Amino acid sequence: MTEVCPVTGAIDAKDTRAWRLLVDGRVDGAQNMARDRAIQLAVEDGGSPPTLRLYQWDRPTLTLGRFQPDTDIDASAARQLGIDVVRRFTGGRAVLHDDELTYAVIARTADGIPRGVAASYRHLCAALAEAYRRIGVAASLTAHDRVHAPSAACYLAASRADLSLDAMKLAGSAQVWHGQTVLQHGSFTITRSVDQEARLFGMSREQAALFAERTATIHSATGQRPDPDSLVGPVAASFGEVLGIGLVPGVVSAAESELERSLLEEVKAVGQRCSADTAGSATDLGD
């Protein structure tokens, strides 16, 4: 078993199995999305190592998919509920982030990531399923694509790129490629507010009932409500073991921080789409 290294410091460039582990606390939503993308750009350029980033949100935040219209959500309801709205660089439908631990994998094909959406998702899904197993949830890859009801909400649709608990959608992920580098991120959702999501996505009463019936969380599956910080260990250990990598705790570099700042206005500009990625494509993996 590959263990998370309990040390800090630079990663040995000669060790192709060594990845950086970034563990962030609660971070602003725009910063979270800009940071994921900044790391991807830096990894593709060769200035940063492959990275597993685990993070949280300093307030409830709704992320729109890269190509998703603003009109898919009720902006007035978001303001009334005190929910930030930002745009991801990855595709797919809107997701409300709150009581969760979010993961992001940023790595190149040279780091062992298969090229292509289906192959790379299958590769990473094994680590996600193992993480859920360690948490106490028997997650499995969704067998068939299904749309429970027409909606802008990510969790009212499921695909073979999602993790499910029986017939309930447990987790979806979204992905974008830049050159030979993938960014894939998703959520380990502890609890969710069906009422809030129903308001944000303009669900009918029937849709809201279906949403509650067809989705699962860590709390609903286990009866426990773990602190997000307590999930960091099992999630990191699962990626290390399944991918056969060593994880070395690190920090965001100065170059990545500068890139992050340059991207902030873009993710905050909800009225616009994120800039085109001429070297890759945005692909939804969960909707």
Q: Any idea which residues carry the catalytic annotation? A: 154
Other C-beta atoms closer than 10 Å to the C-beta of 79 total 11
136 sits in the region (left: phi over 0; alpha: psi -120 to 50; else beta) called left
Residue 87: phi and psi, rounded to 5, are -115, 135
What gap in Å lies between CA 232 and CA 247, rounded to an integer? 12
Residue 276 is which amino acid?
A
Q: In what order do the strands lie in the sheet with 140-141?
A: 140-141, 163-165, 168-171
What gap in Å lies between CA 106 and CA 108, rounded to an integer? 7
How is residue 144 written in tokens?
Answer: 């068939």
Q: What angle do CA 231, 226, 185 make, to 5 degrees?
A: 40
Mode of pairing for the β-strands spanning 163-165 and 140-141: antiparallel
DSSP state of 179: T
